[in-house]
A and B are shown apart, each in its own frame.
Chain A
Amino acid sequence: MPRSRHPDKEIEQAVAYAEEEGWTLVPIKGHAWGRLYCAHHDRDGCKVSVWSTPKSTGNHARALVRAVDRCPHRERKEDNDEDS
């Protein structure tokens, strides 16, 4: 069954991006619309909460994307943090 869409376009795009990266949405009740879990949620995986009505939908959408991008379990395209 397809999940329901987030009413805000930018947040919906961020959720769709997370899903493309292998994350799964679990809808919940309350102020949060759902919880996104990364592909490793069975072990010490990542989780990010999606608000229904954040103060700024744009800021929230960008923060969701950043959380997905810093997931240590995603396949690294390039790990370039070595100082020399």
Chain B
Amino acid sequence: MKTHEFTIIASGLNPEAEDFEDRFFDAGCDDATLSFQKGVIIIEFAREAVSFSKAVTSAYRAVLGAGATVERVEPDYLVSLSEIAERSGKTRQAISLYTNGNRGEGFPAPVARVTSNHPLWDWEEVAGWLVERNALPKEELVRARVVKEANLHLDATDAPADNFVRRLEAAEAA
């Protein structure tokens, strides 16, 4: 089985409580590293599972089982130019040629903070564009879809937890 690396951002538990770590350990998070930074609980998983969506959904359930609230899954689908460079193994210069339209026909437009100096792209769109040009493994696009679906679900506050698993599995199969 493959080991899948991703991070869950959580809240709702006091990291100074005596049982903070034990709650996560007992809920099956012995394959995660717990930290508390910038005011949020950061749970970095290296989880063995048959698929990426299975790894994320089982981790999601474990974090809820520990009594925490899941806020977000990372690496996030909203990415800066630097992050696109990092994730695709290219230089920032190469990526800015794409984003300026000089060398990348049809490169996706930014989707957030468009009027700022630091716009954000949707990694699923960017990954799809790179995969089409054989500049990124297909697997990365699948991961991008699953993480985006997870965060869209988490953004919709009234979305029931059961849907989470179905949505992620559907995103992976797409």
Measured CB to CB, the residues of A under 8 A from B are 28-32, 44, 46-49, 51, 53-56, 59-60, 63-64, 66-67, 70-72, 80-84
B-side interface residues, number (CB < 8 Å): 29
* Max count, chain B CB within 10 A of own CB: residue among A48, A53, A66: A48
Q: Classify the interface of chain A: helix, strand, loop or mixed.
A: loop
Measured CB to CB, the residues of B under 8 A from A are 3, 15, 18-22, 25-26, 30-31, 33-39, 42, 44, 46, 80-82, 92, 96, 117-119
Q: Classify the interface of chain B: helix, strand, loop or mixed.
A: mixed
Contact of B25 among A44, A51, A80 (CB under 8 A): A51
* Max count, chain B CB within 10 A of own CB: residue among A29, A44, A51, A70: A51
CB distance from B140 to the nearest CB of A (A): 20
CA distance A71 to B36 in the complex (A): 10
CA distance A31 to B20 in the complex (A): 10
Contact of A31 among B21, B36, B80 (CB under 8 A): B21
CB distance from B97 to the nearest CB of A (A): 13
B residues within 8 A CB of A31?
Answer: 21-22, 25-26, 30
